[in-house]
Structure 1
Amino acid sequence: MDSLQPKYKSIFISDIHLGSEGCQAEALCDFLKSNTCEKLYLVGDIIDGWRLRKKWFWPQAHTNVIRRILTASKRDTEVVYIVGNHDEFLRAFLGFGMSFGYIDVKNRITHQGVDGKRYLVVHGDMFDGMMRSDRKWIMFLGDNAYNFMLMVNTKLNQVRRRLGLPYWSLSNELKKRTKKALNYIHSFEGHVADYCKRKGFDGAICGHIHVAEMREIDGITYMNDGDWVESCSALVEHHDGKWELVEHKPEFMRSSVKSEELVAAPL
């Protein structure tokens, strides 16, 4: 391989939630520094407009993320910003061909994979029944509950860190063990797959539900790149067409695992 060739063909990251206290900005900066690509897709909820409307929170680490992405776009990395529900304020400007410097802003886009397949790249809130206008208040309520859970989780992990224990996610445990949460996740994934099948896509790449996953659903390749609040995960496309989910944990989250580990079998 050419030593100047980027490490990956494409990288997909979503749900960074810049402007929220739960954002793992330092971990993301470290990941972007050590992982280059030809195409970088920011798959929604990059800036958390919901949080910023309630309370301004923007430390230097969040600015560093923006600077690193802008620098990548100036150094021949094609960067596409897909709008999500937390940064939906940008959707009002999409009709004007919006861009940030070299970064194109889209509601959705089609990615032609090295494997020859056509993938729908979209944040995924359009497939979430809770995002209907008559139910959106439930989503805002859930967002407040989620942020409270993150605050509790942060305090808990401060204690665990002093005891030399690895990072533990209360939210992820509830997602795995709660029947309603599992039903919600499976329903979301099914809606995405059904839409792709009807529209002639081979697969979908999305975020929104903060659950990294790669699997086949009725002949459709469903891939979710997770989040940068808890899992610190990304979806990567290798130059040979292989797909892989990776985790990139900051030091305080690590136990005996490597900083970058496979969390799903390569596809």
Structure 2
Amino acid sequence: MKYRTIFLSDIHLGTPGCQAELLLDFLNTYEAESYYLVGDIIDAWRIKRKGFLWPQAHNDVVQALLAKAHDGASIYLIPGNHDEFLRSYLGTHFGGIEVLSTADFTASDGKRYVVTHGDQFDSVVMHAKWLAHLGDRAYDFMLWLNTRLNRARSLWGGQYWSLSKWAKQQVKKAVNFISEYEKVLTAEARRGGYDGVICGHIHSAAVRDMNGVTYVNTGDWVESCTAVVELNSGRLALIDWERSAREARHRVRTRRARTRQKQLENV
């Protein structure tokens, strides 16, 4: 399947939590004329703190994106706070991938969007980086614990469950922060004369109207494995790839079970 544009963010290559294999499946399934990588593609914070972690699957993701650029796709990378070192290379190209601070995107229906990672609108990241780094370590621990919980759940056939996503939904301050973040970014888009904003940063995927301005958050490839695509109509839609992969696995298991049942009935 081919789309006009695909938006991805918060992949966090270089961390144990990165769902690189699922992202590779997604990149192999969908093609696009243009790709926007909306920040935190590489997690330099984690690499700097704990050393270099780069499994083959993470390298395969980079190679897959470079291959798409080589085949003619336009790819734009907008650095986030975790890969802010790339902000020193604005305007340059890496294997056909252009580095930008922000981007103006016009959908096929004529609507204009500002594309930004969004960390510049996060007061904690901007004014208390030590607190942001502390929160990042707590997040790493939650992902570590989440991996072990899901291993235990898989022993009795339980489905994948995100501890960090559940925690954010339960903690009132986190819910309020997400709501305020959405309001600030849509207000900034309105001031700039845009019809909407496309961002990442908070790992909370959404496509919604905010008083006439479209708020789009691409989510992440650590917890939810989501992306945003532009349909032929110009409408932006959210793809939950983890859910799609889970449903595909369920269909395979169901077909196998039916096949075994038929084989037993024919014995």
Q: Provide TM-score, normalisation by structure 1.
A: 0.90
- What does residue 145 of structure 1 align with? 138
Alignment correspondent of 2:255: none
Q: For residues 140 and 254 of structure 1, what CA distance do their matches in structure 2 show?
A: 36
Does residue 130 in structure 1 map to residue 124 in structure 2?
A: yes
How far apart are the structure 1 equivalents of 2:222 and 2:94?
A: 24
SS at match of 1:46: coil
Contact 1:43 1:206 in 2 (8 A): yes
Query: 1:78-125 deviations in whole A, cap 9, x for unaligned?
Result: 11111100000111222xx21102110111000011111110001010
- Across the aligned residues of Structure 1 and Structure 2, the Cα RMSD in angstroms comes to 1.8
User: 5 Å matches for 1:21-60?
Assistant: 21-54=16-49, 55-60=51-56
Match of 1:80 among 69, 76, 81: 76
Maintained 8 Å contact 2:105/2:113: yes
Aligned to 2:163: 170
SS at match of 1:41: strand
Identity over aligned residues, as a percent?
47
Check whether the contact 2:79–2:117 (CA below 8 A) recurs between aligned residues: yes
Within 2, Cα distance between the matches of 1:87 and 1:151?
A: 21
Deviates more, 1:239-248 or 1:50-59: 239-248
Residue 91, structure 1, aligned to residue 84, structure 2: no
Deviation at 1:76, TM superposition (A): 1.4
Larger radius of gyration: 2
Q: What is the aligned partner in structure 1 of residue 61 from structure 2?
A: 65
Give the match's secondary structure for 2:233: coil
Aligned residue number for residue 220 of structure 2: 227
For 2:73, the aligned partner's letter is T
Helix, strand or coil at the partner of 2:77: strand
Runs of 4+ in 1 over 4 A off after TM superposition: 250-259
**Alpha-carbon distance, 1:218 to partner:** 2.1
Query: Structure 1 stretches of 5 or more lacking a match?
Result: 1-5, 260-267
The answer to which structure has the higher helix fraction is 2
**1:113 aligns with one of 100, 107, 115:** 107
Q: 5+ unaligned residues in a row in structure 2: which ranges?
A: 253-267
Distance 1:154 1:146 in 2: 12
| Residue in 1 that maps onto 2:262 | none
Give yes or no for contact 2:119–2:126 (8 Å, CA) kept in 1: no
Secondary structure of the residue aligned to 2:114 is strand
Deviation readout 1:220-262 (Å, 9 max, x if unpaired): 1000010000100000001121221011128985598789xxx
1:165·1:255 contact (CA, 8 Å) conserved in 2? Answer: no
